[in-house]
Amino acid sequence: MIHFTHLRLADGSNNQVLCRLNMHLTHDGKRLQPGDVIMLTRYSPMLYSPSGESNPQRSPAIVVHQFTRVGYTSISEKLQPPLHCPDSTELEQSTRLTDPSPVVASTPDGNEYEENVQVECTPENRCCSLYGLSMVVCICDFDPVKEIDLDELRQYCWFADRDVVKMTNKQKRNMLYWWYMTNTYNICGAGKRKEPPACLKYAIRHAYPETDGKYVVYKPGSSKASAKKKRKSD
């Protein structure tokens, strides 16, 4: 079962900010009390595409990846209305370029493979701005793959059935795909499967590569992937 903790924070100017804690902080978040002062040591600001004037997004403005409790203070009686994530403009969405397409090769077993292609994720071409979410900073910068503790991650991953030291790089990649897509993009639940953004896919493959440099091409809704629940993107 996936658990998320949502908080309402107040800064020094009594502005309220809606936030969501990363999955591994769920228990720490539940121990917080009203008035606790925390220092956000790692977090990501969020932008979302508007759903329309009659149905605006009410998503958290930030996702917190790491925080430290540093004290306690009384809560002001005059707090500003909560800040949600700002809407990304149509201009920001329209300036997004197309990601470079990797060369796809087929094998006798019917599978298709591709090489790991590096993409440049910039403010003008934010590759990780997908699924209704627009990133202010590249996901690979504010939540680096190499800083993810796989041993800790394994405790939350529902399909991780062995110790990290016994995992292949493919199994580690699958676990990381699940982690990012669940925590950042909130894509979770049976049958909900999306391809990771190109910049993130490159970073994960670069950190945990295949020896032959070939990776199975993502195919949404494939019967093979549906039949085997533990199958993820490669």
Q: What is the pLDDT of residues 185-209, one digit of tens each?
A: 878 766 677 889 999 999 999 999 9
- For residue 86, is pLDDT > 70? no
Question: Quick one: 36 and 140 in the same domain?
Answer: no
Residue 79 lies in a domain: no
Domain boundaries, position 14? 5-72
Question: Quick one: 121 and 218 in the same domain?
Answer: yes
Q: What is the pLDDT of residues 104-154, one digit of tens each?
A: 566 666 678 888 988 889 888 888 888 877 777 888 988 899 989 999 899
Question: What is the Cα 52 distance to its own chain's centre?
Answer: 24
Question: Quick one: 142 and 220 in the same domain?
Answer: yes
Domain count of the fold of the chain: 2
Question: Quick one: 157 and 214 in the same domain?
Answer: yes
100 — pLDDT class (breaks 50, 70, 90): low
Residue 86 lies in a domain: no
- Given a contact cutoff of 8 angstroms between Cβ atoms, the answer to whether 23 and 183 are in contact is yes
Q: Residues 59-84: what's their mean pLDDT?
A: 80
Q: Residues 217-224: what's their mean pLDDT?
A: 58
- Looking at residue 132, its pLDDT comes to 72
What pTM does this model have?
A: 0.63
Residue 83 lies in a domain: no
Residue 16 lies in a domain: yes
Residue 89 lies in a domain: no
Q: Is residue 204 helix, strand or coil?
A: helix
